[in-house]
Amino acid sequence: MKLPSWKVMGILNVTPDSFFDGGLYGTDLSATIDRAASMIRDGATVLDIGGESTRPGSQPVGLQEELDRVIPVIESLKTRFDTTLSVDTTKSVVARTAIKSGVHWVNDISAGRFDSDMSTVCAEFGVTTVLMHSRKTPLTMQMNFSYTNLVRDVVEELLSSVNHFIQAGVSRDSIILDPGIGFAKSVNDNLALLRSCYSFIETGFPLLIGTSRKSVIGAVTGKESSGRLAGSLATVAETYRQGATIFRVHDVAETVDLLKMIDAMNGGVDE
């Protein structure tokens, strides 16, 4: 059987206030580990561990609190599972500590804007680095944003971040781009970006899509976050068709089944 060309990144939030799963796992280490084990069984190839909510309007978390949330989880997962671990953080100290504790990827929603040392840390350890487009901070990102040419502006701003990381010593082959669905974007902006994956893929970097249960899906379907699975899967199917290969999701089993079925229909499974 051919190996899949995609990766499913399971979201493991250890926060009390994330928009969908805040508080479900982070208050109990054993519950968090059980959730991670479930996602691995369901086919997640990367687990993304975050200790600070970045939903619109969220308040920042102090350095020590974020460390206290994520490091015990990372250390526990490292001893139990042979799975790629990612840390979702904008703080270079958290990234450095997480890498030393066993993390392989750094997922920075600010693409280095919040902490100029992030690029140095990623370069020092040679980790895979996800650079996401955003503006301002989670607290203010949905206020007074505008674009001259949405897709071009987002691509150019991401490439500016890429250049900063490469100049710091990060390998070009280690960088993944994320257009930042829901971050300083209107509903129509988000939909336009989801129609324009080719513009990001043309840069030569792998493309990560993170739409799972986000508000753009609620705006289209009229559903609350608990009812947005079908809409989330639709975005995965369409962006995979366009060439995206990494999908950051809450619903690992359903996403894996979807991608397997698409591959099978396109001749990706040997007889």
In a domain, 133, yes or no: yes
In a domain, 63, yes or no: yes
Measure the CA dihedral 64/65/70/71, to 10°: 30
Give pLDDT, residue 268. Answer: 67
User: What mean pLDDT comes out for the span 27-37?
Assistant: 89
Catalytic residue among 35, 91, 228, 248: 248
Give pLDDT, residue 156. Answer: 98
Rounded Cα–Cα distance for residues 106 and 201 (Å): 20
Give pLDDT, residue 9. Answer: 98
Query: Above pLDDT 70, what percent of the chain?
Result: 93
Q: Which amino acid is located at 271 in the chain?
A: E
User: What mean pLDDT comes out for the span 51-59?
Assistant: 83
Rounded Cα–Cα distance for residues 74 and 65 (Å): 15
In a domain, 270, yes or no: no
User: What mean pLDDT comes out for the span 69-77?
Assistant: 96
Give pLDDT, residue 1. Answer: 46
164 contacts 112 by C-beta, under 8 angstroms: yes
In a domain, 1, yes or no: no
In a domain, 2, yes or no: no
In a domain, 271, yes or no: no
Q: What is the DSSP pairing of strand 105-108 with strand 46-50?
A: unpaired
As a whole number of Å, the end-to-end CA separation of the chain is: 8
> Domain of 254?
7-265
- Does residue 12 carry a pLDDT above 50? yes
- Does residue 267 carry a pLDDT above 80? yes
User: What mean pLDDT comes out for the span 65-83?
Assistant: 96
User: What mean pLDDT comes out for the span 58-86?
Assistant: 95
Q: What are 155-166's pLDDT values in tens digits?
A: 999 999 999 999
Give pLDDT, residue 24. Answer: 56
User: Which residue did the predictor score with more confidence, 84 or 60?
Assistant: 84
Count of structural domains, the chain: 1
Most confident residue range from 133-137, 140-144, 238-242: 238-242
User: What mean pLDDT comes out for the span 120-132?
Assistant: 98
CATH number at residue 68: 3.20.20.20
**For 93, how many CA atoms within 13 A lie in the half-sphere containing its CB?**
7
Identify the band that residue 27 occupies on the pLDDT scale cut at 50, 70 and 90.
Answer: low
Neighbours of 27 (CB within 10 A): 12
In a domain, 144, yes or no: yes
Residue 80 annotated to the active site? no
Give pLDDT, residue 56. Answer: 78
In a domain, 55, yes or no: yes
Catalytic residue among 35, 185, 214, 228: 214
135: Cβ contacts below 8 Å, ≥ 6 apart? 141, 145, 183, 184
Give pLDDT, residue 13. Answer: 92
Q: What are 207-255's pLDDT values in tens digits?
A: 999 999 999 999 999 999 999 999 999 999 999 999 999 999 999 999 9
Residue 248 annotated to the active site? yes
Neighbours of 262 (CB within 10 A): 16
Q: What are 173-197's pLDDT values in tens digits?
A: 999 999 999 999 999 999 999 999 9
Rounded Cα–Cα distance for residues 204 and 52 (Å): 30
User: What mean pLDDT comes out for the span 117-146?
Assistant: 94
